[in-house]
A = this chain, B = another copy of it.
Amino acid sequence: MGKVVFDISVSLDGFVAGPNQTLDEPLGEGGELLHEWAFATKGFRERHGESGGETNVDSEVVEEWLDNTFATVMGRRMFSGGEGPWEDDPNADAWWGDDPPFHHPVFVLTHHAREPVPKRGGTTFTFVTDGIEAALEQARAAAGGKDVGVGGGAIVAQQYLKAGLLDDVRLHLVPVLLGDGVRLFENHVADTAPKLERTRVIESPTGVTHLEYRVVK
């Protein structure tokens, strides 16, 4: 059976998005800085129909992730581009565009049942109203024995971590300080904290440190 992997870029001060998220700036102020390393790679650009890009270990990390993820689970706020009054808008998927970067089935955790939204390039957003385990079950089925990605946001990832449903946590530690925003680990309760075993460190010349941890079960 494939792994359930939470893969995310995080600032040195522990933020996965900047403050003041809006539809125009869904990653919050400064949040783009967390993803520049990935956007700059050949691996990322190729999958988005663009030429050029860096061929370095960052690109290998991106390619490995893209090549091995066959379904994604995400929260409603990630789907709708942050928290705000637009969340319930039927066009809330607009910010992902016509050709989202997933190219595989995406299961969106929500309280509002809704018809699936097919997009170009293999991405279909399917809405799941009966909780994180049900969403993961559907994602596992869609991935056909390969890896499932937990896309975020942070709160959804924490729920999966607490429930013991994550196998790997991959952090891309970016050497910036955002100062404020959405914390990767905000609501975690120490009593239920899982043990993590570091399985890999990849040091990129761009200053990003790619860290992989296995959740000990």
Residues of A within 8 A of B (CB): 12-14, 18-19, 29-30, 171, 173, 175-180, 183-185, 188-191, 193-198, 201, 203, 207, 209, 211, 213
Contact = CB atoms under 8 A, between A and B. Distances in A.
A91 to B, nearest CB: 31
Contacts of A179: 185, 188-191, 193
Contacts of A213: 12, 175
Q: Is the interface of A mostly helix, strand, loop or mixed?
A: loop
Copies of this chain: 2
Given A29-B190, A201-B209, A203-B201, A185 B18 contact: no
| Residue picked from A171, A179, A191, A196, most chain B C-beta under 10 Å | A179
A211 B11 CA distance: 14
B18 A190 contact: yes
Contacts of A207: 197-198
Given A12-B185, A18-B190, 9 more contacts: A12-B213, A13-B184, A175-B213, A176-B193, A176-B196, A177-B190, A178-B190, A179-B188, A179-B193
